[in-house]
């Protein structure tokens, strides 16, 4: 896989992670925000009782109480099992539209400028309901339509129109600031969670999968092999004389050898193959098909590491073993066990041959 394709996949995974986190944030925050909106409308109803004539009272209270009850219902639904991270942002958008549309009905009936204040408050608070860009665009479009219709209904003077336009811009700015801050917080959380997830499944020295990460990833690969009736291979790689390198040159040198061998091993595999650090001086490769020849694995790694280290005293030699099983009967543990046994068998044969010479 080339670098451009790899970068694209990383961006796609990250984008999907953000989308999931936006949904989780909506799921966590929606009940409280919906209840806050209901409380705001209840406050509007109380204010109307204290400030408006009895002729308008029933209409104004109903236009405040109905959205309050609707938002209360949204909050209760958000806390139920009916809501999940996928539909929570849509439910949040519905709550925002409910909150924004109610003041327009009041203006259409009673023509009071105070209802523009209601709308500004709801719009600013509605920024907390925005978790995705599409929601922001819908809110902006709704706000522009609301303002245009309201100005027409209220027959405001040019000066008053300018004042209310400035107020709406301020309210939109507050909503946008809340939206941006919320998305930034979600992204920081998603990045931290992604980093922790990566560290949980990868070796910190080499960046390869660790034993736990390989067990998780190999299950999907083995399932694919069973479905497609393909064979699966495992290569077991053991670093020769790592303890001697540590004793003679220090553990930093040993870590460098491990890292360079890991890099060399990844050059041998395809994009779909799995490479893991199985133990302190052991690497494992699992993939579909017959797998690379162990002699080639040993030769390529030794050549690459020798060039990379530029140290005649450290040759980066390894011993490798290969196992292959049909997908129907393959398991990660069986593949690794057989490859490990093959590696030891080849190492013993090589040492025996060296003694004879």
Q: Is residue 204 part of a domain?
A: no
Domain end marker among 199, 227, 252: 199
Q: pTM for this structure?
A: 0.57
pLDDT of residue 49: 74
Do 93 and 161 share a domain, yes or no?
Answer: yes
Q: Is residue 243 part of a domain?
A: yes
Which residues have a Cβ under 8 Å from the Cβ of 236 and sit 6 or more positions away?
A: 278, 282, 283, 284, 320, 321, 322, 323, 336, 339, 340, 342, 343
Do 218 and 183 share a domain, yes or no?
Answer: no
Do 325 and 244 share a domain, yes or no?
Answer: yes
Domain end marker among 141, 172, 199: 199
Do 167 and 228 share a domain, yes or no?
Answer: no
pLDDT of residue 116: 77
- Number of domains observed in the structure of the chain: 2
Do 194 and 236 share a domain, yes or no?
Answer: no
User: Which CATH number goes with the domain that contains 222?
Assistant: 3.30.70.270
Do 39 and 78 share a domain, yes or no?
Answer: yes
Q: Is residue 98 part of a domain?
A: yes
Q: Is residue 60 part of a domain?
A: yes
As a whole number of angstroms, the distance between CA 328 and CA 336 comes to 16
Q: Which two tokens stand for residue 81?
A: 């099992």
DSSP letters for 144-209: HHHHHHHHHHHT--HHHHHHHHHHHHHHHHHHHHHHHHHHHHHHHHHHHHHHHHHHHHB-TTT-SB
Do 124 and 231 share a domain, yes or no?
Answer: no
Q: Is residue 132 part of a domain?
A: yes
Q: Is residue 206 part of a domain?
A: no
Range of the domain at 328: 211-356
Q: Which two tokens stand for residue 210?
A: 């660790």
Q: Which two tokens stand for residue 240?
A: 């020769």
pLDDT of residue 2: 39
Q: Is residue 340 part of a domain?
A: yes
Angle of CA points 129, 135, 140, to nearest 5°: 100
Domain end marker among 199, 225, 248: 199
Angle of helix 3-51 versus helix 158-201 axis, rounded to 10: 140
Do 181 and 280 share a domain, yes or no?
Answer: no
Q: What is the pLDDT along the chain (357 residues), one digit of tens a residue?
A: 434 444 443 444 444 456 667 677 777 777 888 888 888 888 877 877 777 666 666 777 777 788 888 888 888 888 887 777 777 777 877 777 777 777 777 776 667 777 777 777 777 777 777 767 777 777 778 777 777 777 777 777 777 777 777 888 888 888 888 888 878 877 787 777 778 878 888 999 999 999 999 998 999 899 988 888 899 999 999 999 888 888 888 888 889 999 999 999 999 898 889 999 998 899 999 999 988 999 999 999 988 887 777 766 777 789 999 999 987 778 889 999 999 999 999 999 888 877 766
Do 221 and 347 share a domain, yes or no?
Answer: yes
Do 187 and 218 share a domain, yes or no?
Answer: no
Q: Is residue 325 part of a domain?
A: yes
Phi, psi dihedrals of residue 325, rounded to the nearest 5°: -135, 155
* Beta partners for residue 334, in sequence order: none
Do 194 and 216 share a domain, yes or no?
Answer: no
pLDDT of residue 34: 82
Do 44 and 156 share a domain, yes or no?
Answer: yes
Q: Which two tokens stand for residue 223?
A: 């399932």
């Amino acid at each position: 896989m080339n670098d451009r394709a790899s970068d694209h996949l990383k961006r796609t995974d990250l984008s999907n992670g953000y989308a999931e986190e936006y949904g989780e944030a909506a799921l966590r925050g929606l009940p409280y925000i919906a209840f806050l909106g209901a409380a705001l409308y209840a406050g509007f109803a109380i204010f109307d009782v204290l400030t408006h004539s009895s002729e308008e009272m029933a209409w104004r209270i109903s236009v405040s109480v109905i959205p309050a009850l609707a938002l209360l219902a949204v909050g209760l639904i958000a806390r139920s099992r009916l809501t999940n991270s996928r539909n929570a942002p849509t439910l949040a958008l519905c709550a925002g539209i409910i909150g924004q549309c109610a003041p327009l009905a009041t203006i259409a009936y009673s023509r009071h400028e105070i209802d523009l204040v209601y709308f500004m408050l709801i719009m600013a608070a509605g920024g907390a309901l925005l978790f995705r860009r599409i929601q922001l665009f819908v809110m902006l479009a709704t706000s522009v339509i609301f303002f245009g219709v309201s100005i027409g209904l209220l027959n405001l003077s040019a000066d008053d129109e300018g004042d209310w336009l400035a107020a709406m811009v301020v309210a939109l700015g507050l909503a946008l600031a809340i939206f941006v801050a919320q998305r930034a917080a979600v992204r920081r959380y998603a990045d931290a969670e992604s980093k922790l997830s990566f560290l949980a499944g990868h070796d910190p020295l080499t960046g390869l999968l660790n034993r736990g990460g390989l067990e998780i990833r190999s299950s999907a690969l083995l399932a694919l092999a069973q479905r497609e009736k393909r064979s699966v291979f495992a290569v077991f790689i053991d670093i020769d004389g790592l303890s001697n390198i540590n004793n003679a040159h220090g553990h930093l040198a040993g870590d460098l050898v491990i890292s360079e061998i890991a890099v060399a091993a990844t050059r041998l595999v395809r994009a779909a193959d799995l490479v893991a650090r199985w133990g302190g001086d052991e690497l494992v490769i699992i993939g579909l098909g017959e797998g690379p020849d162990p002699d080639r694995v040993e030769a390529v790694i030794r050549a690459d590491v020798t060039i990379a280290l530029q140290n005649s005293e450290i040759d980066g030699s390894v011993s490798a073993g290969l196992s292959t099983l049909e997908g129907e009967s393959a398991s990660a543990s069986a593949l690794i066990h057989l490859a490990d046994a093959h590696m030891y068998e080849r190492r013993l044969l090589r040492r025996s041959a060296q003694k004879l010479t």
